[in-house]
Amino acid sequence: MLFKEIVGNLHTKKQLLEGVKSNRVGHAQLFSGKSGSAKLTLALAYAQFLNCENRTVNDSCDTCSSCLKYNNLSHPDLHLIIPVLKVNNIKDPVSDHFIGQWRDFIYGNHYSSLNDWIDLFVTENKIGQQGTIYKHEADNIHKKLSLKNYEADYRVVLIWMPERMNLEASNKLLKLFEEPPKGTIFILVTENANQLLPTTLSRLQTIKVSDFTTEDIVNHFGKNILSFEKAKELKNLTDANLCKISKILNDNENNLDLFNDFSSWMRLSYKMDIQGISKWMDQLAAKGRKQQKLFLSYVIKMVRECLIYNFASNNLLKINENELAFLTKFSPFIHEGNSILIVEKLEESIKAINRNANAKILFFELSLQMVKFLKLKRKFAIK
């Protein structure tokens, strides 16, 4: 991974590069950022830069023998540690059992989250495991580090999602975080730093990875794929999660129009246009379950935005101009008397879709409820 392949995060990149140039490389660093942010990619670009044999001012060369090995995550002095599951009759699972699969998963999307990883095992994972880094893993790390570095200046132990270390594993690694063998650095990549034990946290130097901005998102996908307005909408919908945005774009290539679907649904429901609703419903029922769920999550978000518009400062709104124009007229119909009922009903519907409910029946029933909810009068005057 090269720094130039990662959009945005200019400040963090600068901080990392300057650290290397001035020989201030912390021996235990925590890259902390939300799901779908650049924490793993920055950590990988940083590790690659540390070991590049032919660095340029701001990036790795991408062609030296170290870079080539880093490019496919196969450098012998890069140890990848990941949360694992007890599946396929593996008694004491450790990262080495799963690492091939994880590499493919990360090549598929560098911005994937812990949940995405666990979801891969949905059929084998009958007891709903969340992924764990066990004690044997910590023992393994001790063993690996007792050997000499193969070839690199910096041997890197990269722990992806260290918040999944169990207590025994955390305790066994504390000493190493504090004082790793010479030439070894720990890079931890977390999406939930507050789940790390304070004893662990206090031994790490934290690098805060910020959220992607709308501009970053446009730059990542390219202006011809994603307009600024659409990027803003997707950023708000996914909380700036680049992996989720990629998935939505892949799934929806031709029919990603949540706003239009939503605004027409609300208009039809308000007008009690049953024929129109029936047509709209046919269109939505023809889309996949994933898109139906995405649509319902979008409606929940918009109901919440209406409440913010009604009761709080407009600065808190996370919407684009089209949405704002619609909300200005629509939000009076959403209030304390119906918003909870609407959101509950929408959440129930998402669950029903998960249980394979008949989409036409579900959306028809939901529309009738919506007609009823929108007729409910509000009790208090609003701004």
Q: Which residues in this chain contact Zn ion in the complex, by CB under 5 A? A: 52, 54, 60-61, 64, 67
For Zn ion, the closer CB: 76 or 108: 76
For Zn ion, the closer CB: 60 or 170: 60
For Zn ion, the closer CB: 67 or 85: 67
CA distance 179 to 11: 28
Name residues whose C-beta falls within 8 Å of residue 117's C-beta, 6 or more positions apart in sequence: 82, 83, 102, 105, 131
Quote the least distance from Cβ 53 to Zn ion, whole Å: 5
Quote the least distance from Cβ 22 to Zn ion, whole Å: 20
For Zn ion, the closer CB: 65 or 202: 65
Is residue 117 a contact partner of residue 164, using CB atoms and an 8 Å limit?
no
Quote the least distance from Cβ 209 to Zn ion, whole Å: 23
Quote the least distance from Cβ 3 to Zn ion, whole Å: 12
CA distance 267 to 40: 43
The SS3 assignment for 84 reads strand
For Zn ion, the closer CB: 61 or 317: 61
Quote the least distance from Cβ 52 to Zn ion, whole Å: 3
Identify the CA nearest to 363 among candidates 259, 291, 257: 291
For Zn ion, the closer CB: 28 or 67: 67
**Pairing assessment for the beta strands 184-190 and 28-32 based on DSSP bridges:** parallel
For Zn ion, the closer CB: 73 or 145: 73
Quote the least distance from Cβ 281 to Zn ion, whole Å: 56
287-294: which pairs have CB atoms within 8 A and are 24 or more residues apart? 287/255, 288/251, 289/353, 289/354, 289/356, 289/359, 290/251, 291/251, 291/252, 291/255, 292/353, 292/359, 292/363, 293/350, 293/353, 293/354, 294/237, 294/248, 294/251, 294/258
The SS3 assignment for 32 reads strand
- The rounded radius of gyration (Å) of the Cα atoms in the chain is 24
Quote the least distance from Cβ 107 to Zn ion, whole Å: 19
Instruction: To the nearest 10°, report the CA torsion of 232, 235, 239, 244.
Output: 160
Take residue 63 and report the two structure tokens written for it.
């062609």
The SS3 assignment for 335 reads coil
Is residue 25 a contact partner of residue 199, using CB atoms and an 8 Å limit?
no
For Zn ion, the closer CB: 61 or 374: 61
The SS3 assignment for 367 reads helix
For Zn ion, the closer CB: 59 or 191: 59
Quote the least distance from Cβ 156 to Zn ion, whole Å: 14
Quote the least distance from Cβ 66 to Zn ion, whole Å: 5
CA distance 228 to 258: 16
